[in-house]
Structure 1
C-alpha cells in the first residue's frame, strides 16, 4: 500500500510538473501555430482543472473540452425513454451513477424516483443480478450507458443472466464508441482542434489501434494519456514535439496500461453480445453513423428497446434553450461562456448534462474554478 501511495505521489509531484512545464514552454517557442488540444475524456478535464495545468502552459497551447463523458452525451429522448420504462407496472429501473440526475424533457430519473417509481443507481452492473434474483415478480431493466470501458461489464451481466436463467432481467442499451465521435468533431467545418489527448480507460479495452484511422485521415496528433497530472503534462510535451517536427502520429504515453491491441477477451465479449447501430444521436453532436451499440438480435428476448418499442416515442428533443451544453461538447465554447453557468445552472440545479456528471466539463469548471 505504501509503494502504491508513493507511486501516485510521483505522478503528482510538483517538481516533476514544474520541470515538464519548463520543457513544454521552451519547445513551444518553436511552434508556427497555436496548439488547440481536445482532451476527449472528462476524466482528463477534471485533472486539468483540479491541478491547474492550464496555468502551467504557455499561451499558445489551449485546451478544448471534448464529448468523452457518457452521461453528458446522452440525448434527452433516451432519458425520457428510461423514465417511461421506469413508470411501467412492476418495473425496477437500474442505472449507473450520475445518470439518475441528468434532466430529460420531463425531469430527471431522480425526480421520477421521488414520485415513487423504483429507480436504483448502482456502481457495479453485476449488482443488478441480485436485484433481479431478490425481486422475481418484477421486471428489472438495466439502463446501460458508457463508452468501451463499461461495455464489457454489460456483456458479462447479460452472460450471467443467461447462464443462471434470470429471465426477469432486460436491457436498454446506450453504449457509445469514441472513434466515431472524434471523427465527427474533426468533420465539423468550424473545428478548431489540431491535436488530441486520447482517453485512458477506453483505450485499455479498445487498444490504441482504433484511433489510427482518424490520425491518418486528419493528420492530427493523438497521444493516449493516463489520468494523473504528470501523465497529462508529458502527453502535452509529446504533442508539442510532434507539432514542432511537423508530424502527426498516434502515440501512447499511458503504456503502463494501454497496448496497441487492447483487451482482446473484452473485445470478443463485446462482439458476441452487441452489434453496431447504423446511427445514434449524441447530445451536442447530433446523429453519428456507427457510433453506438445495440444488443445482438439473438438476445432480442432481453432487449427492452424492442419489447417496449410501442411505448417509446421516436422523437428528438433539444436541450433547454438557455443551456449551451451542446456547444461545450463540440468544443465551440468554454463552460463559463454559457450565460446560465453558475447562475441558473449548478451541480445542485443542473440545466444540462455537462453540469450533472462528475466527468462533465461544466462540473469541473464549477468545482475547481468557481463561478467568477
Structure 2
C-alpha cells in the first residue's frame, strides 16, 4: 500500500500545514461535500491541526444521511410486502424510518437481504422468478452508474421481476441551494473527488463564478484534504473564485463518458427531497420513460407516503453545516449508534457517527468500545 501511505506521510503533512499557516490572514469557512472526507478529517484530527482562522464545515455529503424519511418509509412498506425480496447495502438497514427500520422488517419475517452490488440483486431476481426483487438505489453521482447499469441489464435480459427504488441526488444543485440560503456562511468548497471522477468538473465553473466561491476538487487521504485546503485558502486570500482540480490522479475534466452516457440513458433529472433540508429543484434522478416499468415506487404504488421528522433530531442543521454534531442536545445521550434518532448517527459516512466514533463528544459521556463498534 505504498501509494496510499505516501498520501499519509506526516512530514509532507507538516509542510502543507506550515504553508497553510503562513498563507492565512483572516477567518475562512470551508465546507467539504463528502462524508468520506468528513470521517478522514475527524479521524486524523485535520481540523484541529489547521490554523484557528480556518473552520471546516461538514456538508450534506453522506448519501445515507440525505435519503429523505419518506423514502425510508417507502422502502419499509415495499420490504414488508409478501413475495418481495428487498435488497440494499448494509448501511441502510439501521436507518430509522417513522416507527421502524429494515432490520425490524426482517425480524418480522420480511425477506431483506444485504448485497454488495445492484447486479447481485439482479442475479437474485433471475434466480427467484416467482418473487419481486427490489434494490434500494440511493446515493450521489458515484453510485448512480452501477444502479443504472442494473436496470439497463434487466431490460436487456428481460428480467421483469426486478425493480429499483430510486433516491439518487446530485451535488451541484445542493451547492446552489446552500449558497442561496440566507444562513450560508461558506467561503469555499472542497468538492468530492469520486463524484467528479464520474461527472467531471463542467457543472462547477458557473457555481464558482455566480457565487464567487472557490471550488477545489479534493481526494480523501490526509494529504489530499490538506492540499485541497491549501488551494482553497490561497484562492480566498487572493480574492479568486475558480474551480481547481487537486485530485488529478482520479478526476478528469470530462469525467467518465461511458458512465455519463449510461446515466443519461436510464435516468432523467427531477426535483428531490433531501433529509433534513427539503426539496431542491433538479437535484436528483428518476428512471426515464424507457425504464419506468422498473420503478419500484410506481410498481408498488407507494408514492403518497408523507412523514414528519422527529423534533429532537437536528441532523438537518448538521447536514447544512449550521451545527456541529456535538452541539445537538441529543448527541451521545438519547441519540447514539445503538439508539439513533437520525441517519447521520447511523451511516458510516455520517458526521454524527464520525464525532461519536472518534470521541469528539463535546462533554457528553464517553461511549464504550462496544457502542463505538456499532457505528455504521
In 2, Cα distance between the equivalents of 1:308 and 1:113? Answer: 19
Deviates more, 1:34-43 or 1:130-139: 130-139
1:273 pairs, out of 266, 280, 286, with 266
Equivalent residue for 1:7? 3
Equivalent residue for 2:334? 344
Equivalent residue for 2:304? 313
In 1, Cα distance between the equivalents of 2:233 and 2:343? Answer: 32
Equivalent residue for 2:369? none
In 2, Cα distance between the equivalents of 1:370 and 1:285? Answer: 24
Alignment of structure 1 residues 121-136 onto 2, 5 Å: 121-136=114-129
1:167-195 superposed Cα distances (whole Å, 9 cap, x missing partner): 21011111110000111111110111111
In 1, Cα distance between the equivalents of 2:31 and 2:110? Answer: 39
Equivalent residue for 2:241? 248
Shift of 1:157: 0.6
Deviates more, 1:159-168 or 1:331-340: 159-168
Equivalent residue for 2:282? 290
In 1, Cα distance between the equivalents of 2:76 and 2:157? Answer: 28
Contact 1:347–1:363 under 8 Å retained in 2? yes
Contact 2:91–2:347 under 8 Å retained in 1? yes
Say how many residue pairs are matched: 362
Alignment of structure 1 residues 1-372 onto 2, 5 Å: 5-28=1-24, 31=25, 33-277=26-270, 279-309=271-301, 311-315=302-306, 317-371=307-361, 372=363
Contact 2:276–2:319 under 8 Å retained in 1? yes
In 2, Cα distance between the equivalents of 1:370 and 1:290? Answer: 35
In 1, Cα distance between the equivalents of 2:295 and 2:251? Answer: 32
Residue aligned with 1:149, SS: coil
Contact 1:285–1:330 under 8 Å retained in 2? yes
Shift of 1:306: 1.6
Equivalent residue for 2:367? none
1:209-267 superposed Cα distances (whole Å, 9 cap, x missing partner): 22122111100001000100001001111111101111111001001110111001100
In 2, Cα distance between the equivalents of 1:159 and 1:291? Answer: 22
1:117-173 superposed Cα distances (whole Å, 9 cap, x missing partner): 011122211111221122111000111101100111011111221222212101111
1:90-124 superposed Cα distances (whole Å, 9 cap, x missing partner): 01111123111110102111111111101112221
Deviates more, 1:121-130 or 1:66-75: 121-130
Consecutive unaligned residues of structure 1, counting only runs of 5 or more, are none
Shift of 1:88: 1.4
In 2, Cα distance between the equivalents of 1:184 and 1:370? Answer: 28
User: Which 4+ stretches in 1 moved above 4 angstroms?
Assistant: none
Contact 2:62–2:350 under 8 Å retained in 1? yes
Shift of 1:280: 1.4
Shift of 1:370: 4.1
State TM-score, norm by structure 2: 0.94
Residue aligned with 1:357, SS: coil
Contact 2:197–2:250 under 8 Å retained in 1? yes
In 1, Cα distance between the equivalents of 2:2 and 2:274? Answer: 40
Change in CA separation of 1:34 and 1:318 when aligned onto 2, cut-off 3 Å: farther
In 1, Cα distance between the equivalents of 2:37 and 2:225? Answer: 8
In 2, Cα distance between the equivalents of 1:7 and 1:166? Answer: 42
Contact 1:96–1:145 under 8 Å retained in 2? no
Q: CA RMSD in A?
A: 1.1
In 2, Cα distance between the equivalents of 1:125 and 1:151? Answer: 10
